[in-house]
Amino acid sequence: MIMTIDVGNTNITVGVFKNDEVAANFRMTTKMPRTSDEYGMLLITLLEQNDIRHGDVEDAIIASVVPNVMHALEGAVVKYFGIRPIVIEPGTKTGIKVVTENPRQIGADRIVDAAAAYELYGGPVLVLDFGTATTYDLVDGSGAFVSGVTAPGIRISAKALWEDAAKLPEIEILKPESILAKETISSMQAGLVYGQIGQTEYIIKHMIEESEMEGVRVVATGGLGRIIASETDLIDVYDPNLTLKGMNLIYKKQNRKSGRIRI
């Protein structure tokens, strides 16, 4: 089994692959400081809750946009699993060529999503990830990452509303029954969700139009992506496990037999 660990700004998402199928996946919060021992025991416990023995994990791969957790997290994988994990970074074989002005500024998570979308759904492809930030990344027919757009995520926008406006409450993010809201909570929900739908459609249309690419497939992922994908015809595929699948695909491109080390 291969363990994939996606370290995002809000959550650490862990997947376990068996024969290229997702055998389990779970999340931990990113912002809580942890030692390598805490990461190790938490990973083992969550694996066991999914009926997976930690000894069955043969190798691991990590993609991270949060550098300050990496020392403890890598240490946990080494100490508790006996594995030196692959860390996706500039120079890692991904199947995607980055042709933007500064390739090193593109986050590992975006490269992973691009690699997965291109390999699984073909190119050209526009990849949307509704995470802490909402990202739009365009990959051409040859597998080159040519452009990316970054916007505030839905949760960031919601947090700004209730933290910076004294009378606005913290709310659940969901689509209200109607955009014609008649009270505060549904008016906030309408603004957040319908505003995100409008932003999504506008950016998709203009990225495809300005790129002058034909037959662009639009693939979305991310926790809140399901809400948006169900409300627009411009998104062709919603794949909640796109990032984990991409990490598994990138792992296979490294052609290493095992990450086992002697402790």
Positions marked catalytic: 109
For 49, counting Cβ atoms within 10 Å of its Cβ (0-12 exposed, 13-18 middle, 19+ buried), the class is: exposed
Question: Tokens for 67?
Answer: 């550098």
Give CA separation, 256 vs 53, 86, 260, in Å: 22, 10, 11
Measured between alpha carbons, how far is 125 from 41 in angstroms, rounded to an integer?
A: 39
Give 121's DSSP letter. Answer: H
Helices (H) and strands (E) in the chain, counts: 7, 11
Give CA separation, 21 vs 18, 75, 113, in Å: 5, 26, 17
Measured between alpha carbons, how far is 97 from 114 in angstroms, rounded to an integer?
A: 10
H-helix or E-strand spanning residue 26: strand 21-29
Question: Tokens for 199?
Answer: 């932003």
Give 83's DSSP letter. Answer: B
What three-state secondary structure class fits 82?
coil
